[in-house]
Amino acid sequence: MINKSNPQITIIIPQYNNRKLLNNLLNSLNKIKTPHNTIIVDNASIDDSVKFIKTNFPDITLIENKTNKGFAYAVNQGIKASKTKYVFLLNNDTIVTEKCLDNLLKTIEHDSKIFSVSSKMIQYHNPDYIDDAGDEYNILGWSKKIGFNHEISKYSEDCEVFSACAGAALYKRDLFDKIGFFDDNFESYVEDMDLSFRSRLHGYKSYYSAGAHVYHYGSATSGSKHNPFKVKLSARNNIYLIYKNWSLWMKIINSPFIFIGILIKYIFFSKKGYGTYYLDGIHEGIKTRKKLSRTSDISFYNYLKIEFLMIKNVFKYPF
């Protein structure tokens, strides 16, 4: 194992099955010289993942859940168990390059107002192309991966983004106490955008680190890019995000755009055979939204800055 004295970073990996992919990730972490700790939160894997971790990586802190409570719950467990200045969240279907942590640290320490930093995620099976270079959000209520299917030579400079993708992102641990943790109600999907939205409401921002390369297999846990579970949960969570974080005046002004965004997505998913699941998610989001804790005590100025940014993103990242 590498020397992990005086680490600034704790790597947190939510784990559910896929032992082979996890092994690839952990072997890549062993090549990194940047001091770090590692916590794996296993969400009741039904393969031999837990035994494999205990046998082959005994220095890793392992948290075992009896049931699968989703991504948000698992990473919150890891964050609360960590003691370092930063936490680096990683999906189990990733491979981390040797200088990744160094570049993430360089970016996040550039500005005291940076809460999170997104890695340059590269498609593992098509390594000439980007998978994700940070995420954006607009007044249609849409999240969008920046840089998807662009050549890896693109997005070569660090820059501000609306949200870091939690599949491979660095966060300042102490700010979770101020902003709040990932919302367990989201379970999986959109939870990172909800967190980044809240961080912006508190006056912080997210960045993208062009030199922090992470290879991503993609959809290893959910099984595919689009499936009934993912479509329904994402639709519900998009409603949750709006209810929690948008002020009343934002909801009123942007309501026509929200409706247009829902209509376009319904048509899109209907063509793929998932229209009913999408509407079920919207309905569930509206029906159960009041169980959520809404963000409060935020200045009008911060809401206004986010509104202008969401408008700009419609034109900068239209589809």
The single residue listed with the structure tokens 């954006």 is 136
Whether 41 and 157 map to the same domain: the answer is: yes
Whether 206 and 271 map to the same domain: the answer is: no
pLDDT classification of 188: cutoffs 50, 70, 90: confident
Whether 45 and 134 map to the same domain: the answer is: yes
Domain boundary among 175, 194, 216: 216
Element (H, E) at 63: strand 61-65
User: Is 222 a member of any domain?
Assistant: no
Report the mean per-residue pLDDT for the chain.
Answer: 93
Whether 92 and 209 map to the same domain: the answer is: yes
pLDDT at 272 over 60: yes
User: Is 194 a member of any domain?
Assistant: yes
Question: What pLDDT is recorded for position 88?
Answer: 98
Average pLDDT over residues 42-70: 94
pLDDT at 319 over 80: no
User: Is 53 a member of any domain?
Assistant: yes
- Cβ 44 vs Cβ 16: under 8 Å: yes
User: Is 29 a member of any domain?
Assistant: yes
Which of 81, 86, 90, 84 minimizes the C-alpha distance to 166? Answer: 90
Whether 264 and 241 map to the same domain: the answer is: yes
Q: Which domain holds residue 256?
A: 228-316
Whether 211 and 235 map to the same domain: the answer is: no
Whether 240 and 207 map to the same domain: the answer is: no
Out of 113-117, 166-170, 290-294, which region has the weakest mean confidence (pLDDT)? 290-294
User: Is 2 a member of any domain?
Assistant: no
CATH, residue 106: 3.90.550.10
Average pLDDT over residues 29-46: 95
Whether 234 and 209 map to the same domain: the answer is: no
State the SS3 of 132-196: ECCEEECCCCCEEECCCCCECCCCCCCEEECECCCCEEEEEHHHHHHHCCCCHHHCCCCHHHHHH
Question: What pLDDT is recorded for position 3?
Answer: 41
pTM: 0.93
Domain boundary among 188, 216, 244: 216
pLDDT at 2 over 60: no
Question: What pLDDT is recorded for position 129?
Answer: 97
Q: pLDDT tens digits for 61-120?
A: 999 999 998 899 999 999 999 999 999 999 999 999 999 999 999 999 999 999 999 999
C-alpha 319, offset from chain centre: 20
User: Is 4 a member of any domain?
Assistant: no
Whether 64 and 131 map to the same domain: the answer is: yes
Average pLDDT over residues 46-71: 94
User: Is 89 a member of any domain?
Assistant: yes
Question: What pLDDT is recorded for position 6?
Answer: 82
pLDDT at 1 over 60: no
Total structural domains within the chain: 2
Q: pLDDT tens digits for 201-245?
A: 999 999 999 999 999 998 644 445 789 999 999 999 999 999 999
